[in-house]
Amino acid sequence: EHRWDSREHMGQESRQGRELGACPRESSSFHSRFTTLTITREPGSKHGAKDGANGTGQGCASASSGAAAATTALFEPGRDGQTPQVVVLVGAPGMGKTTMVRKVMVEWGEGTLHTQFDFVFCIDCKAIALPMEASVADLVSQCCPDLRVPAGKILDDQKILFIFDGFEALGFSLVQPEAELSSDPREVKPLELTLMSLLKKTVLPKASLLITMRPTALGSLRQCLKGEYYMEILGFSAARREEYFHRYFENPNKADVAFRFVRGNKILYSLCVIPVMSWTICTILEQELCGKKNLLECSKATTGMTMFYLSQLLKHRDRGNPQVLQQFLLQLCSLAAEGIWKHKVLFEEKEIKDYGLDQPGLLPYFLNERIPRKGEDNGSVYAFTHLHLQEFFAALFYVLEDDGEMVSSLGRLEKDVNKLLESYKSRKDLNVTVRFLFGLVSQKSMEYMDKTIGCRISPRAREELLEWLQGRHRGLSHPSQALKISEMDTFHFLFEMNEKSFAQSALGHFTDLDLHNTKLTLYDQMALSFCIQHWAGLGSITLQGCSFHWQDPEAELDASVPWVGVVPRVWWAREQPGQVRCAKPLFSVLSHRLQWCRLSESCCAELAALLAEHPGLAHLELADSSLGDSGVRLLCEGLRTPGSRLRILR
């Protein structure tokens, strides 16, 4: 009977626990919101990284390479056929360690999984107020104070799982005299000795342990354990990311809109491998959808969402001494930038110390320690949680204010924005870093970083970015031709900053937009729409061989969805509540010339309607199109609109 009491208590406690950032409105059950995380039992394997995720084992393993996708994998027999008694589950902040613990507790409490254990006791090392001295029985009583049976009687059964969530938060030395360890679960000892007795198996040797922790805290723990299995949380697989969006929004239409918005932005989609980043993005997009009916004018670009994610990681940090964080970030950003320049994502322990980053209170938020493979002993190696986060901090290196002394003492990279921009000509791998650079110097970003994170961003780079944008396209335009922009990344950069006045200044000297054979994702369309609406001198738009995609160009369109584009793999938006609609706003600002290719007969109704709504078009080219007789008739209806200024039709 007392076993069922324990199950009921633990299951209820776990279901009521709140996930990171959960909104007060949430009343859904844990099961309805939980999305399966991918974990690997071989965190030191050689499998390549996916989506830029820099796990402690260097990358998201695929299901075929030792990864699993359920809590059942935690205590499954290994390759040697042995069932692990001690499992160490590692993951970066926000990867879902506590969520996995809650899942284990709920499943055990409901009797659906982990039934080999008579009792499961979870110690939240981050929150629980542990006594200075305690026995194992005392710890059990503190975990489950409502038990109607003495803890000592429970411990006699010995089919027990102890969970230590956030083990690194305990903060005490794991080097304890062997002779002082306990073998009696009722013996009161200093807390360090009691816990070490559990780890070393001198007390309750048949009990199982599940320990969750950040990778940077593994060093000393390895010396205390024997026969342990290391597992790593790799975050959300591609399929699970979409599932998470649907579980978060619950409304299928909103979930589809939000996910397509993210799927069209390669940076955001890649970052969604990190569960807390998925939550961050969903939270922001939910707010945007509440204020608007679509995401066309979403006020938060990639940089804004990344800063919000950073603020969530640091919100529980002691802010009593902001100078410490400011100095740490300067050093961290210098390391990130150095790595980007050298195509480097792994950093040795010596480098971490040389940069002054060996600070236990801050380092785990940003860098993971790689778990070595069996037999390896080459010292600790670190990596940023995700490549795009390294690129974010590399961009921050160029704009984060400092007193001058810090940079000279590091003596490595010069804070020369122009050098970065000049190198971008030949190094397109710097694209994400440059995009973050534009986002960071927006007025909103500077205010947010100062207010929320306590770091000041210098506005000096704004003028350099403006001059660079204007200069790069002048060089690409022929002296006898109109000044034109033919690089899509320019619109990405301006959209990332999302400032009307800056876009007007950057585009003011140009008259032509000329894109060829480009697959325009939703993100591309939004960037174009934003820029064209603030481009007063625009006189000609050429979109030759371009296509508008409503979702990932590589994904198959679902023919059962009634508002899918009428041209295969091309999106022509129709009215739909909450739908992200970019094609129509884009055409609404064309005033002089449109060149289009590969339009089919079925497109003409939409195009005719757009021409009727916007009669200012003077030059229309429909080369390489298969309009058909009925298509031409539909098009003529649009061209008969009173006030039409069309002069040339080809």
Please write the tens of the pLDDT for every residue from 601-642.
667 776 777 667 666 666 677 766 667 788 888 878 777 777
In a domain, 295, yes or no: yes
Burial class (CB in 10 A: 0-12, 13-18, 19+), 323: exposed
Higher pLDDT, 380 or 501: 501
194 and 294 share one domain: no
- Looking at 235, 254, 281, the residue that finishes a domain is 235
Residue 186's identity, in one-letter code, is R
Co-location of 230 and 264 in the same domain? no
**Cβ(498)–Cβ(471) under 8 Å?**
no
Q: How far apart are the first and last CA of the chain?
A: 84
Last residue of a domain, one of 249, 267, 300: 300
309: in domain: no
Q: Which of 536, 478, 545 is nearest to 509 (CA)?
A: 536
Question: Do residues 383 and 366 make contact, with C-beta atoms less than 8 angstroms apart?
Answer: no
Place of tokens 């490595």: 412
For residues 244 and 273, the answer to whether their CB atoms sit within 8 Å is no
d(CA 573, CA 566): 9
CATH of the domain at 482: 3.80.10
User: What pLDDT, on a 0 to 100 scale, did the predictor assign at position 639?
Assistant: 76
Both structure tokens of 302: 């990639």
> Is 258 contained in some domain?
yes
The Cα–Cα gap between 83 and 345 comes to: 35
**Residue 346 and residue 357 share a domain:** yes
Q: Does 231 share its domain with 261?
A: no
User: Which residues, in sequence order, are CB contacts of 561 under 8 Å at separation 6+?
Assistant: none
Which pair of structure tokens corresponds to residue 547? Answer: 């296509």
The answer, yes or no, to whether residue 552 has pLDDT greater than 60, is no
Query: How many helices and strands, by DSSP H and E, does the chain display?
Result: 27, 20
pLDDT tens, residue by residue, 5-59:
556 655 555 555 433 332 322 334 677 778 899 888 755 433 333 455 555 443 3
Pairing relation of β-strands 189-190 and 484-485?
unpaired
Q: Are residues 284 and 362 in the same domain?
A: no
Residue 305 lies in a domain: no
pLDDT score for 185: 92
321 phi and psi, to 5 degrees? -130, 80
Residue ranges of alpha helices (H) inside 534-624 are 583-588, 604-613
Q: Higher-confidence residue: 60 or 7?
A: 7
Closest listed residue to residue 31, CA positions, set 129, 106, 113, 134: 106
Write the CA distances from 329 to 59, 121, 148, 168, 379, integer angstroms: 24, 38, 50, 22, 24
Domain range for 26: 2-235
| Range of weakest confidence among 147-151, 267-271, 520-524 | 147-151
- The verdict on residue 328 lying in a domain is yes
Residue 145 burial by Cβ neighbours in a 10 Å radius (0-12, 13-18, 19+): exposed
Task: Establish how many alpha carbons lie within 13 A of residue 454's alpha carbon, considering only the half-sphere containing its beta carbon.
Answer: 15
In a domain, 208, yes or no: yes
**pTM of this structure:** 0.79
- Residue 361, in any domain of the structure: yes
Q: Which of 500, 577, 515, 26 minimizes the C-alpha distance to 252?
A: 577
Domain count, the chain: 4
Name the pairing type of β-strands 86-90 and 208-213: parallel
Evaluate whether residue 29 is within a structural domain.
Answer: yes
Tokens (6 digits) for 336? 């990130």
Q: Are 161 and 107 in contact (CB under 8 A)?
A: no
Residues 495 and 404 in one domain: no
Domain co-membership, 396 together with 293? no
Tell whether 138 and 244 lie within a shared domain.
Answer: no
pLDDT at 579: 33
Amino acid code (one letter) for 417: V
pLDDT of residue 590: 47
Same domain, 402 and 531: no
Are residues 101 and 163 in contact, defined by beta-carbon separation less than 8 angstroms? Answer: yes
pLDDT of residue 4: 53
